[in-house]
Chain A
Amino acid sequence: MSGVRLLVGTRKGAFILTSDERREKWEIGGPHFAGWEMYHIKASPVDPNRLYASQSSGWFGQMIQRSDDGGKTWDTVGNAFAYDGIPGTHQWYDGTQHPWEFKRVWHLEPSLTDPDTVYAGVEDAALFRTTDAGQTWHELSGLRDHSTGPLWQPGAGGMCLHTILLDPSDPNRIFVAISAAGAFRTDDGGTTWLPINQGLRSEHIPDPTAAVGHCVHRLAMHPSRPNVLFMQKHWDVMRSDNGGDSWREVSGNLPSDFGFPIDVHAHEPETIYVIPIKSDTEHFPPEGKLRVYRSRTGGNEWEPLTNGLPQKDCYVNVLRDAMSVDSLDSCGVYFGTTGGQVYASADSGDNWTAIVHDLPAVLSVEVQTLP
């Protein structure tokens, strides 16, 4: 019998939530690594029992955990994230130059073909890769060494590389996004990188259409159309139909185009989801109503999805890595909140149920569709 496994990272540990394909009854496992910040947990697409987790603490730094049995047991693997060569400087909040300093791993992206290869997006922004199942990590330094690197600056949450999209049709093509530098693409496996921010407009930077400096919150792609990208920017929901060469706004009738996550339906490449947040200073849903917005037209035309979600007095946030979709016939959509709820919809977003109400603040949600 098929089923799903949710990998939930929180401020105080990791939780593994499992259900069968009906997605009505859930078992809650955890906390794993209780008391640690679990920024992200993700499974290998080619070995569903191989999980990687980013574990960190303000006291004790960064750890990486690996499980080979679907999260039942874990082993601490390599955590030496050393920048390649002598790190230079990037722009600091006050406009001065500041040395690159490793702080934590925000996102782990396992290879589409090799369970021992994983990419890690880190703060201060850089991309690392392991090819030995997490024992050693090496920087793909062509990204950080890009000529625009000294112009990159941290967003309010730090200068994090938070999104890594691997092109299933071209193993040499990778997209990443950095707050607040923008989106970048490599076409040679990570040796050289191109800023792909043409068409973005950000009023909070001196040149609103600059090549870099944009606070991109999240990118999403449907695997069947890797040239079509969707972006939730600080403000604005954007779309590219040419692999990021240019972008156009598709915010349309959203009540707010500020937000963090964005995702694509597993079977409908033109169906996308966002969760509008009121503003960059008020990180909660507009009008206290938690609404997922769905577009079936690839943007511009959006419908609110509210059935089962709180429609008054709701002041949680949904962070950038905290939404995911499964690939069962009836696509499941999941997201977690800073209030500790994890919501699930087994019908593409029409109806929602809270699987759990009272976890620590949710940082990330990934879902595995199990055979």
Chain B
Amino acid sequence: MIRIQLPAHLRTLARVESEIELEVEGCITQRSVLDALERRYPMLRGAIRDQVTGKRRHLVRFFACGEDRSHDSPETPLPPEVANGAEPYLIIGAIAGG
């Protein structure tokens, strides 16, 4: 079970109140987690990754276990604590402004 925390705007869009729990098949990578998330919540397609290029939207960040994973390859396995549900995978709207 993967735990995912979304920023407020995406929780509204997905109509969820709090943390999401997802079953993800196979190797737990950012790509497999986001693919599973978008399958369950198709309204999130394009909000986290560009639909044409598949790249992370530049003001969206990915955190896990206290580290910024935004620049990791989408195929890099996520930490075991995320894969076993001990720690959440955080999707963050970057702070912009002063």
Contact = CB atoms under 8 A, between A and B. Distances in A.
B46 A63 contact: yes
Given A57-B9, A60-B9, A102 B46 contact: no
Contact of B43 (A34, A63, A82, A102): A63
Contacts of A36: 9
Nearest to B47: A60
A35 B59 contact: no
B11 to A, nearest CB: 12
B52 A82 contact: yes
Contacts of A35: 8-9
Interface in A6-40: 33-36
Contacts, number: 46
A59 B13 contact: no
Contacts of A57: 9
B10 interface: yes
B60 A102 contact: no
B16 interface: no
A61 B50 contact: yes
The B contact surface, by secondary structure, is: loop
Given A58-B59, A60-B93, A79 B51 contact: yes
A46 interface: no
Contacts of B7: 59
Interface string B1-35: 00000011110110000000000000000000000
Contacts of A76: 13, 42-43
A61 B10 CA distance: 11
B57 A61 contact: yes
A62 interface: yes
Interface of B: 7-10, 12-13, 42-43, 45-48, 50-52, 57, 59-60, 93-94, 96
Interface of A: 33-36, 57-63, 76, 79-80, 82, 102
Given A59-B7, A76-B42, 5 more contacts: A63-B13, A63-B46, A76-B43, A79-B45, A82-B52
5 contacts: A59-B60, A63-B13, A63-B47, A82-B51, A82-B52
